Amino acid sequence: MFNTGYNGILGLLILIGDVWAIINILQSPASNQKKLVWTVIVVLLPLLGLILWFFLGPRDRKS
C-alpha cells in the first residue's frame, strides 16, 4: 500500500554496513571468542548488531 521503493535501498545499505563490520571485526586485535560473539550479533541482528558494534565494539588502540 505504501511501497515507496526505498526498502530495497535501505536493505542494501544495511547489508553493506554489516559486511564492512564483519570484515573489521575479523581484522581486529580482539580475542577469537570476542570476534565470534560480535560476528554472531551482527549476523543475527543486522541493524541493531551493526549499531551496537559501532558504539561498543573493540577499538584499535593505536591512537
Assess contact for 53 and 25: CB atoms under 8 A. yes
pLDDT given at position 62: 55
pLDDT tens-digit series, residues 28-43: 998 999 999 999 999 9
pTM of the full predicted structure?
0.80
The three three-digit cell numbers of residue 36, written as one number? 565470534
Helix (H) or strand (E) holding 39: helix 32-44
pLDDT for residue 63 is more than 50: no
